[in-house]
Amino acid sequence: MTGPDRLFRPVIKTALQADGNWVAASWQKVKGSVSYTVEISRDTFKTIDISVLIDTNYYLFQDLKWEQAYQVQVKANSENAEHNSLFSILGNIKTPKFPTILNTPGIADIADNAVKVSWENSGETVTSIKILNATDSSVVKDVSVLATDITNMYKIISGLQSSSKYIIFLYSNTTVRGWANFTTKTAIIGNIIDLRDISGIPNILEDTIPDVSSGSIILLKRGELYTISSSIQLDKTITIQSGTDLQVPDKAKILLNNNFNLKAGATIDSLVFNDVWVTSDNGYSSKYIFNTTNSATVGNLKFLNSTLELFRGIVRLQSGTTSVNNFIIENCIVDSVSGFGVLTAGNASCKVNNILFTNSTFYKNEKLITSSSPATSIIIQNCTFNEAPNGGSYYFDYSSNNITNPVVISNCIMGQGKSNAGNRVVRPYRVGSNSAFDISGTYSTSDRAITGNEFPSIISYTRSSIEMWKNPSSGDFTIIDNLFPGRNSAGDPRWRR
């Protein structure tokens, strides 16, 4: 004998919506149903925040938490409970941030012991700022806002602890105008080479690099121009970064008239570019940040919190036997890169074992990752891609070489390809047959066209890149599409709503 026939599970009618601290859900009516049970959760239904019994196919969950991911499920109920449908999951959505005049502090607004709190003058006048310890919500700073602060629309608050998590609360009298979390930077320790007091000597960085000891941290003056005119062969661990100056938001600019290389036989623990703007003197034609021609070993090659633009390639392992264990791009914008792309390991004797791209934007990149040797892992998370790669090119091109671990792509947005003589049809990947993929929370815009194998489980969205983003051709990927379900969960976080 078989059990009673259940009602069909409800099917979503329109996409979940959350333009405030509420979530609206709707579903198609189910024939034979007398009511519906709709539920919302923050932990994929391990616990239920709200469960309601209604006789309509629409419900508005209200008074929810701000900036919180929620899941919604619904089932159709029959007069006979034995015929009730099973639950149907309608999806996942995140409520937006609290409407605020407070600007979330960026990398240039945070020091190891201070923060620049900035806002927009709108509505009631800002009167005070509180800084809370994020661990226990204790108030560590309570400061009044002066007339000059109102005019400047910012106030610098010092006396904080390094590597500590805090919450800013902005007030107009007793009314909260916004809040934001931030973490102070780690205090810089070690062999620090501070160039911030030297101005107007563009070649000072080029002259300094050969003379510093391994492990040195070179601090550059924010907003200053530094030039690299001749090829520098690196053979030591070094970090190049903009120093802290909460009054100057612009990164130090490094203009490459030549490339960095690796010295033959060098073994280097790490090479780090942090919070800098790296560009070239002639755009696409011939310049790289790294163009290696010697045999060397690098443990970590990192670009952090930086802007990289106008190169033939970012990193090209051209010849020799060069090995990079970890190649990391984190919180960067990579703009206008031609035929050698973000990473090219050009022959089988050169390899990059592990690749991590996170919280970054890649646009107008003709290629992304190309390798003539296998890799251990590729992880791409919280990234925005547009006009990347070129029509006819791959996101990942490993020929027949395998990637040992599944290629992870999570919470990304992939827009249209870059025009290649009018062709914008991209190729997702070419890898060895033993390679696998783990794709989640990643969207493809409607104007992205592909040929060949698509990434498994990528979500096709019905609107184009120009409908989703504010001004993608100029590098502004602020999400303006209120209907996009990934508007606060996908792509580079700097552009989310």
Equal CATH topology for 17-94 and 107-183: yes
Indicate the domain borders of the chain.
Answer: 17-94, 107-183, 192-495
The mean pLDDT value for 114-132 works out to 97
CB 177, CB 119: distance < 8 Å: yes
Model pLDDT, residue 315: 98
Read off the pLDDT of each residue in 490-496 and give the average, rounded to a whole number: 96
What is the structure's pLDDT at 394?
A: 98
* CATH number of this structure's domain 107-183: 2.60.40.10
CB atoms within 10 A of CB 355: 24
Euclidean distance between CA atoms 374 and 431, whole angstroms: 9
Label residues 361-376 b or e (16+ Cβ within 10 Å = b).
bbbbbbbbbbbbbbbe
Q: For residue 360, which of 298, 412, 299, 435 has the smallest C-alpha distance?
A: 412
26-54 confidence digits (pLDDT tens): 999 999 999 999 999 999 999 999 999 99
pLDDT, tens only, 64-87: 999 899 999 999 999 999 999 999
d(CA 449, CA 64): 38
Per-residue pLDDT of 144-187, as tens digits, reads: 999 999 999 999 999 999 999 999 999 999 999 999 999 999 99
pLDDT in tens, 438-461: 999 999 999 999 999 999 999 999
271-298: average pLDDT: 93
Q: Which residue has the higher pLDDT, 362 or 282?
A: 362
Model-level pTM?
0.81
pLDDT of residue 281: 86
pLDDT of residue 371: 98
Task: Pull the structure tokens for residue 40.
Answer: 């919302």
- Three-state DSSP state, 103: coil
Banded pLDDT at 5 (limits 50, 70, 90) = confident
pLDDT of residue 445: 98
Residue 398 pLDDT greater than 60, yes or no = yes
**Spatial distance between the Cα atoms of 183 and 104, rounded to a whole number of angstroms:** 11
**Residues contacting residue 390 through CB under 8 Å, at least 6 positions apart:** 366, 367, 417, 418, 419, 420, 426
1 band by pLDDT with thresholds 50, 70 and 90 = very low
Give the architecture (CATH level 2) of 17-94: Sandwich (2.60)
Looking at the chain, the whole-number percentage of residues with pLDDT higher than 90 is 95
Rounded to the nearest integer, the mean pLDDT of the chain is 96
For 73, other C-beta atoms within 10 Å of its C-beta total 22
What is the band of 2 on the pLDDT scale with cuts at 50, 70, 90? very low
For the CA atoms of the chain, what is the radius of gyration? 26
What pLDDT does 4 receive? 62
Residue 207 has a CB neighbour count (10 Å cut-off) of 9
